[in-house]
Structure 1
């Protein structure tokens, strides 16, 4: 079965023999058969599709099927798959060597590009979003001499021990409030509050402010589905933390350079002390960063006593891909991303409404998700009111129609500038049946 059937108006069958064979082989040698849990399709059931190629707005799986991609590698691919200029930049860098363990010009250029677009004054390159948030928290503790961290239920900041408390994303998907292997001592240093609740933040600082090193928040939450901060929420966090001598860490691993040239803080400025970045800044290769005011970053080794290091940090291939991707991300690109996101939101809303499926569309710039619920969603508890069975049915019908959605009701959908009329037509064609499946679930 190839994409020619779908192009003629057909639907893919549920089975995927090549992917099934690969998954069986993987489960024997990789825990759960995947290297990141949400890929396993456990939240939606069925066999995860093993992808072998990406081109523009399309993904191609091991069974030869073509999908319009609304995951975009979980956010980084704002230009679509295998953009020629990004590919050329990586090829040129690889021809010179893959890693040196020394400073390189590319990492200086990428750092300068990030500083030029954002409110941070200095930046340290690392390899993953988890490493960025973990390092930012260590730095905040080193600067303040305090130990406790405040985070928000449903916000996911990577899998560092102290942050796997009431996290969203994979943890919400599998219904695990915490993870085995996280010690009570690590968890005891993390205070978890409801998202978008300023009064709760004020209360905890009134009680424990002298012990709190930092508040960490997603700039706009995207790991419980998309839940944007209410007007003034991030600004209130800055005001409260600074009044008590704590720091504000804004996690832009997901929103950074995706929703605007300067990330969410470019749209909704707040006086953050530290900001973390990832995904888009690596152009699809492993790269992340954390940065902030110069006087805060001065505490970081080798300038200061707070230690952080990484053999592959500032890897020349990742820097080349990230720099090419960011330099292509001009105002016209963000207009296209916003327009495409709005078009898809309209198509989905129309289909679900016609089928009588309760739903809410939630947006944060060009990031969005659909909650299968009538309830207002402003936090993690609201996100959990949705009908996950309806999403599961919707997901599989869209997959059969040649559209690849995030395989979890608790994830953001992402668009790329490569989505064209053909991809939009494929999405539109899949929606009526998917909405009917959701209604029947």
Structure 2
């Protein structure tokens, strides 16, 4: 969660530590006089309509469909993320933007696959510290090691992959006991029902490959593989020297130089196994649509659309982008509009949260609230203190930034599909995508128009 300037490695560790923090909402008034003037000024309303009339919800939805359903999971450093990068880059070039691609290194990562001898794929998370397998993987019978206590192992565990339930002792103890019993691999299944596979923390380097799977998968393996003497194949690979990318599309005013800069950001990547429809194909698709809408209107500020990679592993992409800004660029940076999870169809997420790192109003939140008053945005806007997205990187450099995100008012809960395989297009609202495009687009144009 992503929550002046810090190095990416420092940001990564800091954000991971602070990702679970919860803050109380902060209700700060915008400047009433400015808001009232905006509401009653016919010329400003006309500018709003220039944007709103062109924001095409169907086009946003189709881009979201391509990212989440055609490409699917866009995990940092994988082919899926790279496909999304190419799609976004080509679209921005076709719109006439000056496009730059920033490549940057990401921490080494471990990925894995698991399938049964019946060729049924099983979703598996590979924890940091797992040993790798040969390229062809390891194929073995499973040993039902119950809770993975020392007494749960017999001589039959030797040379097999131990299937262990979560609970009572630590993941590390389970793995150590399996290794001591001669197991050649470990699969730990959850003891509560969750959509995605377990992600165990094994506390260091393991001597054998280790994977986490869901409760449903573990129970199915016990029934269909262990009892019938079938095998599974487990493949674990360590990816070294992996890369991710940012795409920056820039449009400058026709005259003059050294203009103020307004940054619009959205992250491309998703977590493993999640199609990432709302998180964050929604923000990406809305940003692409705004790039289309604003490609030719007269502007007096520099406009930058920043599509960042590696957000889900600790804001690495946005931290890299901000670290590459010169001091002059930082000083000219007026605002950052960051969109993340703006399209959920979850009924409870009736509010658009304006998250700022310090909980204080700034030029972005005030502009958004004034715009909402003018255009009659139906959802409540809530100013809230929260990191957890790429606006943190801009804030840390001294650039006023807001994360636009849909949450449940009062609790600030995110949708129940968050970071699960159920983050699919069927849980996205085309009406809310349009609402986000109208609000952010009109707010943005009110700052950059000539």
Superposition TM-score, scaled by structure 1 size: 0.27
Q: Which entry has the higher C-alpha Rg, 1 or 2? A: 2
Greater strand proportion: 2
Superposition TM-score, scaled by structure 2 size: 0.26
Greater helix proportion: 1
